[in-house]
Structure 1
Amino acid sequence: MDDCVFCRIVRGELPASKVYEDEHTLAFLNIMAGSPGHTLVIAKPHRENIYTLEDELAEAVMRTTTRVAKAVRQAAGCEGVTLFQANEVAGGQTVFHFHLHVLPRTPGDSLPGVWPATAPTRTEMDEMAERLRAAL
Structure 2
Amino acid sequence: MVGEPQDDCLFCKIVAGQIPADVVQETETTVAFRDINPQAPTHILVIPKVHHRDAAALAAAEPGIAADILREAGQVAAEEKLDSYRIVFNTGSGAGQTVFHAHAHLLGGRGMQWPPG
* Structure 1 residues 106 and 51, CA gap change in structure 2 (3 angstroms): closer
Counterparts of 1:10-29 in structure 2 under 5 Å? 10-29=15-34
Structure 1 gap segments, 5+ residues each:
117-136
Q: What is the aligned length?
A: 108
Tell me what 2:73 maps to: 65
Shift of 1:15: 0.5
> Matches of 2:110 and 2:38 in 1, distance apart?
15
Structure richer in helix, relative to its length: 1
Q: Percent identity?
A: 37
Whether contact under 8 Å (2:40, 2:110) holds in the other structure is no
Shift of 1:35: 2.5
TM-score, normalised to structure 1, is: 0.72
Q: Which runs of 4+ in 1 moved over 6 A?
A: none
| Structural RMSD (CA) | 1.7
Q: Which residue identity lines up with residue 113 of structure 1 in the other structure? A: Q
Tell me what 1:126 maps to: none
Shift of 1:24: 0.5
Whether contact under 8 Å (1:24, 1:57) holds in the other structure is yes
Tell me what 1:32 maps to: 37
The one of 97, 109, 129 equivalent to 2:101 is 97
Q: C-alpha deviations, 1:95-114, integer Å up to 9, x for none? A: 1111111111324xxxx622
- Tell whether 2:47 aligns with 1:42: yes
Moved more, 62-71 or 8-17: 62-71
TM-score, normalised to structure 2, is: 0.83
